[in-house]
Amino acid sequence: MDHDAIKARATDYIAKETDHAFRVEVLSLLQAGDWKELEDRFYRDLEFGTGGLRGVIGGGYNRMNLLVVSRATQGMADYLKKAFPGKALSACLAYDSRRCSAEFAEAAALVFAANGVKAYLFSSLRPTPELSFAIRLLGADTGVVVTASHNPPKYNGYKAYWNDGAQVIAPHDEGIIAMVGAVSEVRTMGRAEALAAGLLVMIDRQVDEAYVAMVKSKLLRPGLIKELGGKVKIVYTPLHGTGALHFERVMRELGLAVSTVPEQREPDGSFPTVSFPNPEEPAALKLAIELGVKEGADVVMATDPDADRLGIAVPDGAGGFSLVTGNQLGALHLDYLLLTMKELGRLPAKPACIKSIVTTDLQSRVAAKYGATMFECLTGFKWIAALMRRFESDGKGYTFVYGTEESYGHLVEDEVRDKDGISAAALTAEAALYWRSKGKSLLERLDELYLEHGLYEERGVSKYFEGPTGMDTMRGIMEGYRRAQPASFGGIRVARIRDVKAGAAWEPGREAAAEKVDLPPSDVLQWYLEDGTMVTVRPSGTEPKIKYYVLCRTEASGGLAEARAASAAKASAIVAEIRKAVGA
């Protein structure tokens, strides 16, 4: 963009933005002649994608601010009125601890109100899964949660939900995107006026009580918790986010002792003790593990800022703690749920489990052992929710049992249609107690699963591509793979290729005989190697990065030590090759 075009867009933004601080940011950049920063803020509009908005907080059309949030909400309100003509409409809104989250949520609520959509707004920060629960409980037509999940402090986001409590998918996603893009005027009203008119309704306890009761009702062995709960010690960190409110209450009411990391208990959008408030990152659990060692904890748990993800660490038998990955915890959850349901005579006739296409196949093997069907979907819990919705209407008799994806997302209830770190934590505590009653730890049970189903080693590679050329660079990487498919990874031959965007899967050299892939089109490539290893690459849907997933499997007939060494060697060779290729 030339300077005149940038200045024109910046001046237009300053005239329309109602927040003084955001206006001043842009005005100061103009006065300083910082054209590089201005170009980044104005070379495009922050895209309202299929999951909503996510971006850096600040002034500009390519930033998260009151004007951008209000325009997105106006588009959603316009779409709602088109989708439900003549209906009395309502929306639920929640927000996390990030900077500007409360302000963005209220601004969105007042836009809904000005458009005649009753806005149910939580009076203080709440977890994302409770927002999904509230939509269903209150019978709302849509919902918004202001959060950037586990991203760094400079980010915030805006996630859009439909009336089933799930994030929007087709056809509504494209319809909302079109409406947002067409917004020329934003309607809003004052808080006092909206309250007086009954168009802004503050909610809290009535939803909290129902949500907590639901979470506790999903536990399968309440007698076991009552008997042994007092003997288990949990160390927990909400990573400065929303989780402590419900996590501490649920565990306390179950009779479980919890020590929360004091430095990380209070909400703080600057996340002062961590670089990334992400339970997937070992560094994020450092303080919790230190407290776990000090207090002799049986398990360390962490939720991300909006408490939809759960990460755990367990004693390693040598005085320290081992981190448990999302794939591993998902396998442990599924194993415990199906085993317990079968033992108690509560296993449905046709139990259905759901995992994303980048989640470990160990879960498929565990499901098959208990006679459950594993369904596969694209990455993102909205696709898990879509399958749950299908089970309820297709007449095939499937009953949802569990849904998960490798990025620390787990769901054990159908009252919520997004990942839920609070209910996942309660289930984890119960599973730990059960295996303790059998003289085993969670790690020992995981080793038993590996001996039975094979040793699974997982690795990930992520490469960020910031700035105006970032998206083009990622598209170029994906197009390069499609032009010249790799013949091998880490010296292991590719035996099968799956291109989800093209909706096809084939053996190398036999593309003409490709089979159809029954998944919605998505920019994902997967390579199945001849030894059972799977390599996946996809651009992130929420961040400017490309992600690789490496899942190695090795039979454990020669023992776990040998299998671990073999899988680790394969994974390391593949990761090294990927890093070299993308400069990660």
What band does 473 get if pLDDT is binned at 50, 70 and 90? Answer: confident
- Residue 281 phi/psi, 5-degree rounding, is -90, 120
pLDDT at 544: 78
Q: Cα(297)–Cα(321) distance, rounded to whole angstroms?
A: 10
Q: For the residues 172-185, what does the mean pLDDT come to?
A: 92
Evaluate whether the domain defined by 327-453 bears CATH number 3.40.50.720: no
The dihedral sign for the CA sequence 288, 293, 295, 301: positive
Cα 514 to Cα 3, 280, 336, 524, 529, distances in angstroms: 50, 36, 38, 16, 17
- What letter represents residue 181's amino acid? G
Q: Could you tell me how far CA 90 lies from the centroid of its own chain?
A: 25
Per cent of the chain over pLDDT 70 is 99
Average pLDDT, the chain: 95
Q: Nearest Cα to 49, choosing from 166, 187, 157?
A: 157
Q: For 261-297, what is each residue's pLDDT tens digit? A: 999 999 999 999 999 899 999 999 999 999 999 999 9
Cα(530)–Cα(540) distance, integer angstroms: 27
pLDDT grade for 434, boundaries at 50, 70 and 90: very high
Mean pLDDT, rounded, for 185-206? 97
Fold match between domain 44-203 and domain 455-582: no
Q: For the chain, what are the domain ranges? A: 44-203, 327-453, 455-582
Lookup: tokens for 512: 């003409």
Q: Sorting pLDDT into bands at 50, 70 and 90, what band is 583? A: confident
Q: How far is CA 551 from the centre of its chain?
A: 20
pLDDT level of residue 65 (50, 70, 90 thresholds): very high
Sorted by sequence, the CB contacts under 8 Å of residue 491 that are 6+ apart come out as 573
pLDDT > 90? residue 125 = yes
CATH architecture of the domain covering 455-582: 2-Layer Sandwich (3.30)
Alpha carbons within 13 A on the beta-carbon side of 446: 21
What is d(CA 154, CA 46) in angstroms, rounded to the nearest whole number?
15
- Max intra-chain CA distance, the chain: 72
- Convert the pLDDT of each residue in 329-364 to its tens digit: 999 999 999 999 999 999 999 999 999 999 999 999
CATH topology of domain 44-203: Alpha-D-Glucose-1,6-Bisphosphate; Chain A, domain 3 (3.40.120)
Confidence of residue 566 (pLDDT cuts 50, 70, 90): very high
- Residue 541: predicted pLDDT: 65
CB 433 within 8 A of CB 227: no
Rounded CA separation 38/34 (Å):
6
pLDDT of residue 49: 81
Burial label for 4, CB within 10 Å (0-12, 13-18, 19+), is exposed
What is the tens place of the pLDDT at every residue in 303-326?
999 999 999 999 998 899 999 999
Contact (Cβ atoms closer than 8 angstroms) between residue 528 and residue 551: no
| pLDDT mean over 113-139 | 98
Range 372-390 average pLDDT:
96
Q: CA quadruple 159, 134, 213, 240: dihedral positive or negative?
A: positive
C-alpha angle 35-40-41 in degrees, rounded to nearest 5: 95
Q: Looking at the whole model, is its pTM more than 0.75?
A: yes
Buried b (16+ CB within 10 A) or exposed e, 236-273: bbbbbbbbbbbbbbbbeebebbbbbbeebbebbbebeb
Write the single-letter amino acid at 53: L
Strands of the sheet containing 351-356, edge to edge, are 373-377, 351-356, 399-405, 409-411
- Cβ atoms within 10 Å, residue 361: 19
149 is catalytic: yes
**Which listed residue (97, 132, 149, 423) is catalytic?**
149
